[in-house]
Amino acid sequence: MIKDLFKLAQGREPWPWQLSGVEEIIANYERGKSVCLQSPTGGGKSKMMWALTNWATQNRMRAGILTNRNSLCTQLSKDMSEAGIDHGMVASQHRKKFDLSKAVQLMMVQSEIAQSKRRAPAQLDVLLVDEAHMFQSGKFRELVQYHKDNGAYVVQVSATPVGLFKTCSDIIIAGTNSELREHGAHVPCLVRAPSEIDCDKVKRTATGEFIIGDKTRTIWNQQIVGHVYDEWREVNPRQEPSIIFGPDCPSALWLAKEFENRGVRVAYVDSSCVYWDGQERRDPKGELREMIFDMVRNGEIPALFNRFVCREGLDFPNLRHVSLATPIGSLKSYVQTVGRLLRYSKETPDVVHLSDHGGNWRRHGSPNADRDWEVLFRITEQELYKKQKADEDNPDSENYKQTTCPECKRVRENGPRCPDPPFGCGHECTTRQKFVIQADGSLKTVTEKKLESKEAIRKRQSQRNWDSLFWPQRKGHARGLTFWSLRQIYNRRVGCFPPDNLKHMPKDWEKHGGEKILTCDKEHLRW
């Protein structure tokens, strides 16, 4: 039965995670709980929404899909028409399609909130919220609560559901990046970090995003443009479709013009204007923006510049390369941004490329990584940022499991050797490095730490744990214990016994293990 719902929405067999996700959501309907559906970018969330819409209409229920961007709304309407789903629209730019009598409604959240002042919101049995992470404001919550109070089953759909526990009872995971690669929906992403903007003194918001002022913007633009262009030409010599993300709108437009001065056909888009072929034009309705997106998909424009307009909800299946000419402080923004790149297409069947000039791979990890969305769903963005900030300052954290090869600039797992081609160059390096852009535009190699074997890391951690117990005893700040007793306490706290040859341990355990730590002669200990 579940497969039949997908056949009405698409011409091929659904992926396994699509089937299980829709099945769980339908089962949850009986329990009367609002849920969050998480699936990676490229995981087929739209098709799952179409299948749920078919399920609702087949059961004589009214369904609504809520979104909050004109570009997303236009694409969703196009996809729904191609899927054969007759629908009305509540959107200021699609007034001709306004028809609340239709069983399926596609609604812009801003239009629905504005019109609800003059009329009651659309009466729905099932409400699907697309890209739910993008709008969690008070007005949105009031709208969702209205539909809940009137008996609607609410499903919030997102690839990055950080903190959505506030409006959802539970989360349903439909697929991981690994599963998508295994089934051919994703392709591996190779990350390069050839240069990095110095962000040490840039302030950040409570959720981690960087606050980029005029002075910082001017310095960054002058420093980074040459590095971004040279990297773009090296990674993308055939000038296949690519997207470049800038620190803000003025900077992204400035970078676009610099590329154009170097002979590249470019376009720039934001929420109200566009730039291409040497002209800047107003575009409040987004019609020119949609035309530019089609030109990028057709390969007519090889370099598309933006701040974050292209971050969420847009499909560019033939995208070969993404360049991050900006730091991204929020995990949600990072995952959504790099997610534009991971989809399989005939033009990108094997591998895609990410050039990171903002040090984002060190903050947030690999684009290919599986993340624990069950945990991230239940914490706020502020709590997540505090954890990430602590990890950034801790050399033993997950953030330090990757490094950059000084020869090929590939980001790889920690270890002394870079992988062999095509995933690396085979170069050996014993230190973890980054390449920071200086005020004059030159690169400075910063050595962060020596790369260690797993055995060396375990021994260092064991030494730190032992010292945290040893020194209070040695300085007389705690009751006098013997080395054997302290060893037992170590086992209870850490879950295993420490190695017998750490510093500040007896050289001979049989002779001196029973002595008190406070009074044991230093000559009998390892130092």
Quick one: 245 and 110 in the same domain?
no
Report d(CA 388, CA 392) in Å as an integer: 6
Q: For residue 271, name the pLDDT band (cuts at 50, 70, 90).
A: confident
Q: Are residues 397 and 483 in the same domain?
A: no
CATH of the domain at 158: 3.40.50.300
Q: Which residues contact 143 (CB under 8 A, 6 or more apart)?
A: 66, 109, 112, 113, 116, 121
Q: Do residue 80 and residue 165 come from a single domain? A: yes
Please tell me whether residues 348 and 468 are part of one structural domain: no
Position 168 confidence tier, pLDDT thresholds 50, 70, 90 = confident
431 and 409 within one domain: yes
Residue 141 has what pLDDT? 81
Q: Of 244-253, 437-446, 484-493, which gets the smallest average pLDDT?
A: 437-446
Q: What is the pLDDT of residues 58-116, one digit of tens each?
A: 899 999 988 877 766 777 788 778 777 788 888 887 888 888 888 888 888 888 888 87
Statement to judge: residues 308 and 437 lie in one domain: yes
Taking residues 334-341, report their average pLDDT: 93
Question: Is 413 in the same domain as 441?
Answer: yes
pTM of the predicted protein model: 0.78
pLDDT at 515 over 80: yes
Please check whether residues 371 and 458 belong to one and the same domain: no
- How far apart CA 85 and CA 54 sit, in angstroms, is 8
CA dihedral 322→328→334→339, nearest 10 degrees, is -20
Range of the domain at 110: 2-181
State whether 214 and 271 are in the same domain. Answer: yes
Report the pLDDT value the prediction gives residue 160, as an integer from 0 to 100: 94
CB-based contacts of 161: which residues, under 8 Å, 6+ apart?
36, 38, 132, 133, 168, 171, 373, 376, 377
| φ and ψ of 516, to 5 deg | -75, 140
- Residues 273, 158, single domain; the answer is no
For 339-368, what is the mean pLDDT?
90
Cβ partners under 8 Å of residue 301, min gap 6: 241, 265, 266, 267, 276, 292, 295
Q: Are residues 251 and 284 in the same domain?
A: yes
Of 446, 473, 489, which closes a domain?
A: 446
Domain end point (choices 164, 181, 198): 181
Determine contact, residues 327/360, Cβ cutoff 8 Å: yes
- Give how many domains the chain has, as a whole number: 3
pLDDT grade for 239, boundaries at 50, 70 and 90: very high
**What's the token pair of residue 40?**
């990676």
CA distance 6 to 26: 14
Distances (CA, A) of 307 to 154, 271, 366, 471: 31, 10, 21, 52
List Cβ neighbours of 473 (8 Å cut-off, separation of 6 or more): 480, 481, 486, 517, 518
pLDDT value at 173 more than 80 = yes
Lowest mean pLDDT among 8-22, 222-236, 501-515: 8-22
Indicate whether 460 and 442 sit together in one domain.
no
Q: Of 181, 216, 242, which marks where a domain is finished?
A: 181
